[in-house]
Amino acid sequence: MTAELLDGRATSSTIRTEVEAEVAKLKAEHQVVPGLATVLVGEDPASQTYVNLKERQCEQAGMRAFGRHLPEDISQAALLEEIEALNADPEVHGILVQLPLPDHLDENQALAAIALDKDVDGFNPVNIARLTLQDMEPTFAPCMPLGCIELLDRYGVEIKGKEAVVLGPSNIVGLPTALLLLHRGATLDICHAHTEDLPGICRRADIVVAAIDEPGMVKGDWVKPGAAIIDVGWSRVKVGDEYKVMGNVAFDEVHEVAGYVTPVPGGTGPMTIAMLLQNTLLSAQRSAGVAR
């Protein structure tokens, strides 16, 4: 068996095209232009790259990008004032605070300050809490976990009634992905560094989400034949005299056993920004009264 690639680049491109069409329709029919505000504190090069990419793709989709690039030494109170101003701006439909923040700032307090109806990154604690309740849905779900589910859906991978394993219960990826799978009717195992017999648990699973941040951890003999493998990892690993990008999955081995597998790079990464655009569009549609 050779796995089918869950191609995040191709899928995200399709989603961006869909979003662009809906943005044009919203402008023409309701004179509403979706707006995303990105809040970047400091000069971290990786964060600057991520924010620039998000702003560029936002503009390419016909949305407005409102960049708030703030000094490294900004106070907590001043940061919260910036967020509150964006909450009050009717042209801003989504707010994203780029993490990590400098050490002197409280990330949880900053995320909690974002209005629920503009929390398009899905990390306001209230939105995360709503994910834990079977009879509620968050206003928005976090983008990378949402992208994992979207990939499974777009490739026709059944979730309901299937066994799923999430490796790594992080607040950003693992835990919200597990909760989204649970909402969709999966039978779930959440594993961590202290879990015994990880290979045995993975071999039972129809869906494995590897978000444990250990390069090449998931081997071919960990995988149930035909399973869907979502690799959220991304590491630069030295191989000989060169560096290569690796995920949490030993791709060459797993590709020969699984039914579906995400490549690294080109899997979950591109989906994250696509879902951010989709969430921002949804927020704008809600403001215009054309979406629930």
What are the tokens at 81? 């004032």
Q: Would you tell me the crossing angle of helices 143-154 and 174-183 to the nearest 10 degrees? A: 50
Q: Is 48 a catalytic residue?
A: no
Q: Is 231 a catalytic residue?
A: no
Q: For residues 280 and 10, what is the distance between their CA atoms, to the nearest angstrom?
A: 20
Q: For residues 254 and 228, what is the distance between their CA atoms, to the nearest angstrom?
A: 10
Alpha-carbon dihedral sign for residues 121, 57, 28, 278: negative
What SS3 class is residue 240?
A: coil
Q: Is 54 a catalytic residue?
A: yes
- Distances from the Cα of 226 to the Cαs of 4, 151, 163, 212, in angstroms? 10, 16, 13, 22
Q: Catalytic pick from 7, 54, 189, 206?
A: 54
Q: Catalytic pick from 57, 98, 278, 285?
A: 98
Ramachandran angles phi, psi of 276, nearest 5° = -65, -45
What helix, strand, coil percent values describe the chain, rounded to 5? 45, 20, 40
Secondary structure string (H, E, C) spanning 103-161: CCCCHHHHHHHCCHHHCCCCCCHHHHHHHCCCCCCCCCCCHHHHHHHHHHHHCCCCCCC
Q: For residues 273 and 55, what is the distance between their CA atoms, to the nearest angstrom?
A: 10
Q: For residues 274 and 15, what is the distance between their CA atoms, to the nearest angstrom?
A: 6
Q: Catalytic pick from 121, 189, 206, 231?
A: 121
**Active site residues per annotation:** 54, 98, 121
